[in-house]
Amino acid sequence: MQTRSLVAAWGKRELPSRAPGEDSRMASAPQIDASTDLHLETILTSFDTNYAWNYGSLKEGLRDLYEKAKREQWNGTTQLPWSTPVDPESEIIPAQFNPLQDYGPFRRMSPREAVRLRHAQLSWQLSQFMHGEQGALIVASQLVGAVPWMDAKYYAATQTMDEARHVEVFSRYLSEKLEWE
Ligand SMILES: [Fe+2]
């Protein structure tokens, strides 16, 4: 689940020290050790990567989609009203959509307990969406390599950018607005 502590931990990562003469371009990359980093899960993936030598447009529909994607780029940082105040314990999702609404133990909770659970439920649900968006981001990026046509690579590249924004926005909403710890 997305938490502030996770974000803070990532921000505090220490960069490796550089040996004399070591390439400075490599020195800025943090050391990644998936076996000890609890915030990292490494999954082995294997697929054929296609380097397309034909730069012409072979799939007109895909080229149109790519043009549309370029025209309609958006910026979640500047185009979403992040200054809007959000009370994370308010009824952000209407109560009638809560699947626990008619569940006995839920109905027997005190108002304070119910509010706390509602906050936890929404944080959990949006966290699952966020993790799914990261999956989409990774898959879209892999599609750039896997597809055999340049038009398809172009379009998959825009899809990759779109999925990055989805992850970014869910992550920011969770940490800044829902503030679930
Ligand atoms: Fe997405």
Does residue 23 fall inside a structural domain? no
Cβ contacts of 60 within 8 Å, gap of 6 or more: 151
Q: Summarize pLDDT for 33-80 with one digit per residue, the tens.
A: 777 788 899 999 999 999 999 998 888 888 999 999 999 999 999 999
Cα-to-centroid distance, 50 and ligand 1 (Å): 24
Which range of residues forms the domain containing residue 62?
55-70+78-181
Q: Summarize pLDDT for 58-69 with one digit per residue, the tens.
A: 888 889 999 999
Q: How far apart are CA 158 and CA 61, in angstroms?
A: 15
What pLDDT score was predicted for residue 58? 81
Using only C-alpha atoms, the chain has a radius of gyration, in whole angstroms, of 22
Does residue 138 fall inside a structural domain? yes
Cβ contacts of 57 within 8 Å, gap of 6 or more: 63, 150, 151
Q: Is the pLDDT of residue 83 over 70?
A: yes
Q: How far apart are CA 127 and CA 114, in angstroms?
A: 20
Does residue 19 fall inside a structural domain? no
Q: Is the pLDDT of residue 2 over 50?
A: no
Cβ contacts of 135 within 8 Å, gap of 6 or more: none
Domain count of the chain?
Answer: 1
What pLDDT score was predicted for residue 36? 78
Cα-to-centroid distance, 145 and ligand 1 (Å): 19
Cα-to-centroid distance, 56 and ligand 1 (Å): 28
Does residue 166 fall inside a structural domain? yes
Cα-to-centroid distance, 141 and ligand 1 (Å): 12
State the residue for tokens 């809007």.
Answer: 84
Cα-to-centroid distance, 163 and ligand 1 (Å): 4
Q: What band does 10 get if pLDDT is binned at 50, 70 and 90?
A: very low
Does residue 36 fall inside a structural domain? no
**For residues 43 and 136, is the Cβ–Cβ distance under 8 A?**
no
**For residues 114 and 175, is the Cβ–Cβ distance under 8 A?**
no
Cα-to-centroid distance, 135 and ligand 1 (Å): 9
Cα-to-centroid distance, 162 and ligand 1 (Å): 7
Does residue 113 fall inside a structural domain? yes
Q: Summarize pLDDT for 90-111 with one digit per residue, the tens.
A: 999 999 999 999 999 999 999 9
What pLDDT score was predicted for residue 26? 53
H-type helices in the chain, by residue range? 4-11, 24-27, 60-71, 76-79, 104-107, 111-146, 150-172
Cα-to-centroid distance, 23 and ligand 1 (Å): 36
Does residue 157 fall inside a structural domain? yes
Does residue 125 fall inside a structural domain? yes
Q: How far apart are CA 88 and CA 44, in angstroms?
A: 37
Cα-to-centroid distance, 33 and ligand 1 (Å): 28
